[in-house]
Structure 1
Amino acid sequence: MSVSLWRSLCQIARGRWLQQRTMSLYNSRHGFEEDEIKKKLQQFAGGSIKLSKGSNGIAVLTLSNPKVLNAFTGTMMIELQEKVAELENWKDGKGLIVHGAENTFCSGSDLNAVRVLSSPQDGINMCMFMQNTLTRLMRLPLISVAVVQGKALGGGAELTTACDFRLMTPESEIRFVHKQMGLIPGWGGATRLIQILGSNPALRLLSGAVKLDPESALHIGLAEAVLSTSNEPESLEETLMWLKPYTKGPIEVIQAIKKVVSAGRELHLEAALRTEKEIFGTVWGGPANLQALAQRTKHK
């Protein structure tokens, strides 16, 4: 295959995937007024979403609002959308670590905003805004892992399901507490939880507001591993080591793997197969493939 043809295939497939993964689930046709809800969310300031992108291709996204266990304020929701958009355009990325500052993950939404935005329309708009953002996070061509330190409650538990993997530190917990607030998940967490665990386990966790410690989460398949320490710098370093085997290799290959898995998860069989074919075409005859052939790579 000529280099020019390979590049053309790359551009076509990348264009299609860029369009899909940045496409909003909701727009004005669904009654979603994004500008209006963002103006209202701006009224509830505090906390921050920090993003650092490493030369190793691994980014770290940090939720920081420790006074309220890193709960999402309105401005943090907007910042999360902005950071996800930045990651969508990061050509050198392979992995993403999501965690909370000061040894806790996230306790959901800031109740000050929840109390004021209590009308059904405001609630639906906030729901659509966060579903859009977390769906784009899930579709990033990066292998993502949530590091659950301390508590991941409500919307924080939903955020963990938007990542590919979940690691937990000792004495941490994941709990979908929505029922106790007279609610159900609204940021896509219920749908993603069913995809991860199946309908019956998801029903038990949601209807029982079950508190999952690391061992329980590991047992049911919600967590991949339990880290050895709750110390923030050490747990992040351990997460980097855990993630390393999955992000080792050429950027275009790692991103292609994530894209094809996302397609298989979201699309019907025929569409998923066609997408797999298109993504395959971006790496067949590409630099990594040709190098492996030239080196007569053997599988041990």
Structure 2
Amino acid sequence: MSPILYTSHAGIATLRVNRPQARNALNWAAQEAFAAAVQTAASDPDLRVLIISGSGSAFVAGGDLRELHAHPEREAGERLNRIMGQALAQLAELPCPVIGAVNGDAAGGGVEVLTACDLRLAVPHANFHLVQVRMGLTTGWGGAARLVRLVGLSRALDWMLNGRSLSAAELHQIGFLHRLTAEGEDVLTAAHAWAEELCALPRHSLAALKQLLRFADHNSLREGYARETELFTELYGTADNREGINAFLEKRPAKFG
């Protein structure tokens, strides 16, 4: 059984962690397969939206603790951080929107995976556990650096220093989760509907906005202003720009390329 399932159709790809018997904990094989799937997504010129989810009742349980217990040597930790750290950095830098579709509990590295997604939705009963401190560790896949930008320093400190578990409702309230599914609604169905909405929008504008917002988050206001002007000018007068304006003036749905 493959530890990662990757499918793509009509511009929407789904990457699903497939170790339900281990609550989708990422062992070495799963980490390598996850990284390869992200590379596949990055190499696909037709990709419009990527969805990340899990099989069974859990989203992702982070690293496989049984495997980590068997390999206490420092080199094993370096390998773990290198594989997933690089994979999540590449995931966050994809030009297309990435949706985290949380089908159940996310723990440790599973929450770190979500921090690399652009948009996040979850089933209402999901819980989110950042408990690395209880293992004598920190986050290791870039999760802390991304989390503090998503929820702010104060909330990140409270969540991580206390090794807390937070509910989907709590994370929706503070903005970490953008949407919650209705009770009984399939999260992948909801994610695909969201992806189809995004596919109806101009892909170059989505990519530019994603680039602009991430640039602004890491640079000064002045640098953000300059980059915004550059990207606006690049898109101005393009076929999608003209189609959007014409559709608005003609009171019809836009049909972007």
Q: TM-score, normalised by structure 1?
A: 0.76
Q: CA deviation at 1:189?
A: 1.0
Matched, 1:239 2:180: no
Name the residue aligned to 1:252.
204
Name the residue aligned to 2:5.
50
Residue 216 of structure 2 aligns to a residue in which SS?
A: helix
Matched-pair contact (CA < 8 Å) for 1:214–1:223? yes
The change in CA–CA distance for 1:230 and 1:80 in structure 2 (over 3 A counts) is farther
Paired-residue identity, %: 26
Residue 249 of structure 2 aligns to a residue in which SS?
A: coil
CA–CA distance in structure 1, aligned partners of residues 50 and 141 of structure 2: 20
CA–CA distance in structure 1, aligned partners of residues 230 and 114 of structure 2: 30
CA–CA distance in structure 2, aligned partners of residues 137 and 172 of structure 1: 23
Q: What RMSD, in angstroms, separates the aligned Cα atoms of the two structures?
A: 2.3
The change in CA–CA distance for 1:298 and 1:161 in structure 2 (over 3 A counts) is farther
Name the residue aligned to 1:149.
103
The change in CA–CA distance for 1:245 and 1:298 in structure 2 (over 3 A counts) is farther
The change in CA–CA distance for 1:274 and 1:130 in structure 2 (over 3 A counts) is farther
Name the residue aligned to 2:68.
114
Counting only pairs closer than 5 Å after superposition, residues 128-277 of structure 1 correspond to structure 2 as 128-229=82-183, 234-277=186-229
Q: What per-residue deviation string (whole Å, max 9, x for no partner) do you get for residues 87-133 of structure 1? A: 11222222221100113201111123312332224313421332211
Q: CA deviation at 1:145?
A: 1.6
Matched-pair contact (CA < 8 Å) for 2:12–2:195? no
Matched-pair contact (CA < 8 Å) for 2:53–2:59? yes
CA–CA distance in structure 2, aligned partners of residues 220 and 128 of structure 1: 30
Query: Tell me, which stretches of 5 or more residues in structure 1 are unaligned?
Result: 1-45
Q: CA deviation at 1:273?
A: 4.1
Matched-pair contact (CA < 8 Å) for 2:122–2:168? yes
Residue 177 of structure 2 aligns to a residue in which SS?
A: coil
CA–CA distance in structure 1, aligned partners of residues 220 and 34 of structure 2: 29
Counting only pairs closer than 5 Å after superposition, residues 28-39 of structure 1 correspond to structure 2 as none
Q: CA deviation at 1:270?
A: 4.7
Name the residue aligned to 1:288.
240
Matched, 1:73 2:22: no
Q: What per-residue deviation string (whole Å, max 9, x for no partner) do you get for residues 167-223 of structure 1? A: 110311111011121111111111111000111100110112211112111122221
CA–CA distance in structure 2, aligned partners of residues 199 and 159 of structure 1: 19
Q: TM-score, normalised by structure 2?
A: 0.88
Structure 2 letter corresponding to 1:124: E
Matched-pair contact (CA < 8 Å) for 2:4–2:34? yes
CA–CA distance in structure 1, aligned partners of residues 140 and 192 of structure 2: 30
Equivalences, count? 252
CA–CA distance in structure 1, aligned partners of residues 97 and 68 of structure 2: 32
CA–CA distance in structure 2, aligned partners of residues 277 and 250 of structure 1: 19
Name the residue aligned to 1:87.
41
Name the residue aligned to 1:36.
none
CA–CA distance in structure 1, aligned partners of residues 135 and 80 of structure 2: 16
CA–CA distance in structure 1, aligned partners of residues 207 and 43 of structure 2: 12
